[in-house]
Amino acid sequence: MQRGNLSAVSEFVFMGLSDAPEIRLLLFVLFLLIYLATMASNITLLIAISTDSHLHSPMYFFLGNLSLLDLLCPTITVPKMLGALLLEHKEISFSGCLFQHFSLIAVVGTEIFLLAVMAYDRYMAVCHPLRYPSIVSMKLCAQLALGTCATGLLNSLLHTSLVFTLTFCGPNRIQQYYCDLPPMLALSCSSTHSTELVILVVAGVLGSSACMVTVVSYICILLEILARMSPGIWHRAFSTCGSHLAVVCLFYGTTICTYVRPSSTYSPHWDRVVSMLYGMLTPLLNPIIYSLRNKDVKCALQRVISQV
C-alpha cells in the first residue's frame, strides 16, 4: 500500500440504495429479514451436520464448509449496508474497505474451489462407488478443504494488493453498498489497464480451472449413467448431484455477471442488483436447495428443530 493513498483518500462513501426515508426503512426491514433467515438456515444446517451421525460423510463435510462460507459472505457486507440504511452512516475507512474487499474475495475464491471439490466428490461417489470410501477419506477431505481455503486467501491477497496500491486521489463515492472490485477500479485516478489485465488473467486461470474440474466431473458422471442404463439410475444420480448442480449454476451465473468483464462495462444499477443476488440470495438459497433435495438432510433438520 502506498502512503500517498492514505493522505489522498482516507475514507470512502457508499452510495445509498435510496434517498427516501420510507424506502430506506422498507429496504432495511427486507434485508434484515433476508440476513436473519440466511444466518438461521445455514447455522441450522451446520448443527444438523455436526450432530447427526448419519451425516458424518465427505459429502456433508463439504456441505458444512459451504454453509460456513455462506455465513461469512453476507456477514462481510450486509451489516454495513443495514447501518447505512438505518443510520445513514455510509462512510468506511481506507483500511476498513481494504479488509472488507480482502475478506469478500477470499470467501468468493474459496467457494469457487470448494464447489469444484464437491463436484469431484460426486464423481467419485457415482462412478467409483466401491472404491469411494477408501479413496475419499476424511483425511483427504480435510486436506482438500484446507487447500481451497489457502488458494482463496492467496488469490484474494493478490487481488487486494493490486487494487489498493493504485492511486485514489479524486472521488471517493463507491457506486455500491460494499467495497467491490469494479467500483474500486472505477475510482482510481491512475491507469488500471495493467491491473485489470493481471486480475482477469489470474481469475481466468483459477476460475476456469475450477470450472473445468466441475464440468469434466459431470461429463464423466453423464457418461457413466449412459453406459450403465440400469433401472432408476437417472433418479439416483439426480438425487445425488441435482442439488450441487443447481448451486453451481446459481453461483457461477451471478459471479460471472459481477466479475468476469472489464470495468468499461461497469453499470452501477445493474451491478447492485446482481451483487444482491450473489451476496444475499445465493447464501439463503443454498441450504434450502440441499434441504429440499436430500432426505437425510431433511430428517436431520427435523430432529434439530424438534430438539430446539
Whose grid coordinates read 447505512?
84
pLDDT at 148: 95
Q: How far apart are CA 68 and CA 80, in angstroms?
A: 20
Rounded to the nearest integer, the mean pLDDT of the chain is: 81
Q: Is pLDDT above 50 for 4? A: no
Instruction: For the chain, list the domains and their CATH numbers.
Output: 40-307 (1.20.1070.10)
Measured CA angle at 303 (ends 126, 70), to 5 deg: 60
Q: How far apart are CA 179 and CA 181, in angstroms?
A: 7
In which band, very low, low, confident or very high, does the pLDDT at 259 lie, cut at 50, 70 and 90? low
Write the CB contacts of 275 (distance below 8 Å, at least 6 apart in sequence): 176, 177, 178, 180, 258
Judge contact between 214 and 119, C-beta under 8 A: yes
Percent of the chain with pLDDT over 90: 19
Q: Is pLDDT above 90 for 193? A: no
In which band, very low, low, confident or very high, does the pLDDT at 231 lie, cut at 50, 70 and 90? low
Strand duo 173-174 + 11-14: pairing: parallel
Q: How far apart are CA 182 and CA 258, in angstroms?
A: 8
Of 20, 11, 33, 175, whose CA–CA distance to 85 is shortest? 20
In which band, very low, low, confident or very high, does the pLDDT at 274 lie, cut at 50, 70 and 90? low
81-104: per-residue pLDDT in tens? Answer: 888 888 777 888 888 888 999 999
* DSSP code of residue 178: S
Identify the weakest region by mean pLDDT among 45-54, 110-119, 245-254, 257-266: 257-266
pLDDT at 2: 43
Region 192-216: what's the mean pLDDT? Answer: 85
pLDDT at 258: 62
pLDDT at 262: 55
In angstroms, the Cα distances linking 21 to 31, 77, 89, 269 are 15, 21, 14, 19
- Whole-prediction pTM value? 0.84
In which band, very low, low, confident or very high, does the pLDDT at 3 lie, cut at 50, 70 and 90? very low
pLDDT at 6: 41
In which band, very low, low, confident or very high, does the pLDDT at 149 lie, cut at 50, 70 and 90? very high
pLDDT at 102: 93
Q: Is pLDDT above 90 for 39? A: yes
Q: Is pLDDT above 80 for 43? A: yes
